[in-house]
Amino acid sequence: MPQQQYLKPEVIQTIKRLDLKAQFIVKGFIQGLHASPLHGFSVEFSEHRKYTQGDDPSDIDWLVYAKTEKYYVKKFEAETNLLGYLVVDTSRSMGYTYRQEMTKFDYSICLAASLAYLMIHQQDPVGLVTFDETIKQSVKPQSRRKQLGTILSLLSQLSPDGQTGIAAAITQLSAMLKRQSLVMIFTDLLGDADGILKALHRLRHSGHDVILFHVLDEAEAKFPFHGKVELVDPESETAIPGNADALKVHYLEELETFKERFRHDCFQSKIDYVELDTSVPFDKALIGYLLKRTGRR
């Protein structure tokens, strides 16, 4: 799919509107993710470490000394910027849509592009990782303006294909990350829940801040079917005939049980679990999430 699909005027305008509507919210959201051992000081002094022999005395923060009578060195900005990773599932199931204009893959890209745009405006480096069964592509985090185009250019060359291996990919990602980061994962979670949750816990326990965007097509979230249907697994292409009216209650119960498990386990591990369906405009969905998260701080 051409890059212009994600950079068309209405998408650009939506992202710009999102930036204007959420400017204050996002500023607080991103800054709140930075480690801050000395709470109460201005953002530019949000990270310090104790002065040790061999440090340059000119790096001592004398304002902190005046308040604490202890010597602290302000870390350089390059050390304190929040590293962000957009982690996008590109497996075949992400290419599904029933009647929405955007597939789950398209929707995830627009969400990822919005967050990349906002982080870059905060001068926080953001990168990209794509995966199906394993990690396929990666772009090193940068905060330069052209990074959004670099990310979209790579995504525009991809098509949702291959089998899903969410747990293996997250495990691989966890081993790959060397610095504490904000990891934003976009996936439909079509895989083994036990393995996925175990991999997410490992990632979180490594010190990373994790946001899991569970992206479902409207049809997957609401099951708007009636009468005789043939349900096809998008990856195995296995077809199962059935009666939609008889299946609907059971399907929605199973889906709710699945989502409730992720809500509970992610809450316990301090992972943000964000439920999305493609019938909700992505800018409204993102604003809603940011408002909710900022309100918890």
In this structure, the answer to whether residues 70 and 149 fall within a common structural domain is: no
Both 133 and 206 in one domain: the answer is yes
Check whether residue 63 and residue 141 sit in a common domain: no
Q: Mapped to the 3 state alphabet, what secondary structure does the chain carry?
A: CCCHHHHCHHHHHHHHHHHHHHHHHHHHHHHHHCCCCCCCCCHHHCCEEECCCCCCHHHECHHHHHHHCCCEEECCHHHHCCEEEEEEECCHHHHCCCCCCCCHHHHHHHHHHHHHHHHHHCCCCEEEEEECCCEEEEEEEECCCCHHHHHHHHHHCCCCCCCCCHHHHHHHHHHHCCCCEEEEEEECCCCCHHHHHHHHHHHHHCCCEEEEEEEECHHHHHCCCCCEEEEECCCCCCEEEEEHHHHHHHHHHHHHHHHHHHHHHHHHCCCEEEEEECCCCHHHHHHHHHHHHHHCC
Q: Let me know whether 53 and 190 are in one domain.
A: no
Number of domains in the chain: 2
Q: How confident is the model at residue 9 (pLDDT cuts 50, 70, 90)?
A: low
**What confidence score (pLDDT) does residue 46 get?**
43
Q: Same domain for 90 and 227?
A: yes
pLDDT at site 283: 81
What mean pLDDT do residues 278-290 have?
87
Q: Which of 78, 111, 144 marks a domain boundary?
A: 78
The reply to whether the predicted model has a pTM over 0.85 is no
Choosing from 14, 48, 78, the residue where a domain stops is 78
- Residue 164 sits in a domain whose CATH number is 3.40.50.410
Q: In the prediction, which pLDDT does 27 show?
A: 55
Q: State whether 112 and 231 are in the same domain.
A: yes
Which whole number is the average pLDDT over 174-190?
94
Residues 106 and 195 in one domain: yes
- Residue 66 pLDDT grade (very low, low, confident, very high; cuts 50, 70, 90): confident
Final residue of a structural domain among 78, 106, 136: 78
Do 216 and 262 belong to one domain? yes
- Predicted confidence at residue 7, as pLDDT, reads 57
Interval 26-55: pLDDT, tens: 555 555 555 433 333 333 444 667 777 666
Residue numbers of the domain that contains 151: 4-31+82-295
Q: Which span out of 14-18, 113-117, 140-144 was modeled with the highest average pLDDT?
A: 140-144
pLDDT at 232: 77
Shared-domain flag, residues 261 and 130: yes
Of 133-147, 264-278, 282-296, the one with minimum mean pLDDT is 282-296
- 188 shares a domain with 106: yes
Looking at the structure, tell me whether residues 134 and 189 fall in a common domain.
yes
Asked whether residue 202 carries a pLDDT value surpassing 60, the answer given is yes
213 and 86 together in one domain: yes
